[in-house]
A and B are shown apart, each in its own frame.
Chain A
Amino acid sequence: MPMHSPLVPDFEELAATHLESAYNLARWLVRDPALADDVVQDAMLRALRYYHGFRGENARAWLLQIVRNVALTRLKRTGAESPVSSVEDAPASQAAEVARDGPETALMRQDDQRLLHELLAGLPVELRECLILREIEELSYKEIARVVDAPIGTVMSRLWRGRRLLVQAARALEAV
């Protein structure tokens, strides 16, 4: 293990540079602050172990790929959320639920952020992760495909499904 030592400062720099992306993705995947901490820490250690094999190309996608793998493994273990779900109508029902919470829950109000978080959180994780990677982390299709370990075509259709569901749910809220 001490053989990694000369690389450690480089690795620390890489880890620090992408810590925000890593933490954000972990939070969105596991939906729990404490678990997200664990996931990021685990992922960083795992990345350090693989670091000697890292060729220096696209560090962020490489690191996020590890974060995602650790996160999904944890999710499976805790059973908190199954990675593959069939919640086609979940956002809509969630929207209705949110709407029932209060009469003034139209979008574009103060509660925007909270509602949006709930809508996003209500999406199946495989759609949610694509949206987060594209719209918040601004990764390219190719990078997303690498992180989620799926063909680009699959990424494209997941992105579209996710965006459609999100817009539908937002409309359902506005219509209330």
Chain B
Amino acid sequence: MSTHFECEQTLLVQADFDGELDAGRAAALVEHVAQCEHCRNVSDQLARSRALLRGVPRYPVPRGLQESIERAVQKQSGATVEQDRSPARGNRTAWLGWATALAASVVLAIVWFLPRSPDLDAQLVASHVRSLQLESHLIDVPSSDHHTVRPWFAGKVDFAPLVKELGADGYELRGGRVDVVGGRPVSVLVYQAGRHLVAVYMWPERAGADSPPRAQQIDGFNVRRWSESGLVVSCISDLASDELDRFEQRWRAR
């Protein structure tokens, strides 16, 4: 294994994956990847490695470490001397600093573990990213006609997905596919909005099983989720946040 870069574009594909390329270069790369088997393989491996690593939590900071650092910092900074002169002030500053730290770390721990645990939205984004990397996986039924797309899902998923035509609103239906997310089959519709894509994931709502509507950003993708007609609808897109809000609004209006 002396050479890792069988195609000179390998590291560019990776840079794109890591969000380090500007839009122009990323677009040029998409064309190359479509024709280069090696680079498609690279994309697969990148997605796989991220799927493996994103589940790894940070090591939690041991109890007492903060306090012992605080003491060491105070000691080294000569705060002990200052404390002799003005004990209340020195102590309060330190106490406030570390109370804030403790509060921050609690919040951090919560924020950290919530989305990091097998989070559905993160899985949806991962699924979307995979579909983008494997061009052929983006759409299984290419059609802009909901009369074609909707029946296509019959027998492939055990529910009837909502399929809406939003061409008049500037979102062209490009087609649909079936994917598996969180262990259940989901329907996916893909809409084109200028140079951006919106993937609309749907699956049946189960009482108490799904979290309430929310909006968030994961790995640079905007995510919206809501309930509609007994289904959970989740949109993933590289559209800007306010533009995805507009999409949601137009979708729900129809």
Interface residues of A (CB under 8 A from B): 1-2, 4-5, 7-9, 11-13, 15-17, 19-21, 23-24, 27-28, 33, 36-37, 40-41, 44-45, 48-49, 88, 107, 112-113, 116-117, 120, 131, 134-136, 140-141, 153, 156-157, 159-164, 166-167, 170
- Whether B105 pairs with A136 at a CB distance below 8 angstroms is no
Q: Which single residue of chain A is at the shortest CB-CB distance from B75?
A: A45
Whether B217 sits at the interface, judged by CB under 8 Å, is no
Interface residues of B (CB under 8 A from A): 1, 4-5, 10-11, 14-15, 18, 20, 45-46, 48-50, 52-56, 58-62, 65-66, 68-70, 72-74, 76-79, 81-82, 93-94, 96-98, 100-101, 104-105, 108, 112
Q: Which single residue of chain B is at the shortest CB-CB distance from A159?
A: B14
Interface of A is mostly: helix
- Whether A166 pairs with B93 at a CB distance below 8 angstroms is no
- Whether B101 pairs with A16 at a CB distance below 8 angstroms is yes
B5 to chain A, nearest CB (A): 8
A120 to chain B, nearest CB (A): 7
Q: Which single residue of chain A is at the shortest CB-CB distance from B49?
A: A163
- Whether A17 pairs with B104 at a CB distance below 8 angstroms is yes
- Whether A8 pairs with B77 at a CB distance below 8 angstroms is yes
- Whether B14 pairs with A41 at a CB distance below 8 angstroms is no
CA distance A7 to B76 in the complex (A): 12
A39 to chain B, nearest CB (A): 11
Number of residue pairs across A and B with beta carbons under 8 Å?
Answer: 148
CA distance A24 to B93 in the complex (A): 27
CA distance A120 to B69 in the complex (A): 28
- Whether A113 pairs with B59 at a CB distance below 8 angstroms is no
In the bound complex, residues from chain B placing their C-beta under 8 Å from that of A27 are 59
Q: Can you sample 7 A-B contacts with CB below 8 Å?
A: A1-B77, A8-B79, A8-B93, A11-B77, A44-B73, A48-B76, A136-B58
- Whether B73 pairs with A24 at a CB distance below 8 angstroms is no
Q: A2-B81, A9-B93 are in contact. Are A23 and B20 (CB under 8 A)?
A: no
In the bound complex, residues from chain B placing their C-beta under 8 Å from that of A159 are 14, 18
B105 to chain A, nearest CB (A): 7
In the bound complex, residues from chain A placing their C-beta under 8 Å from that of B70 are 12
Q: Which of A8, A134, A163 contacts B74 (CB 8 A)?
A: A8
CA distance A136 to B52 in the complex (A): 11
In the bound complex, residues from chain B placing their C-beta under 8 Å from that of A15 are 69, 73, 101
- Whether B73 pairs with A157 at a CB distance below 8 angstroms is no
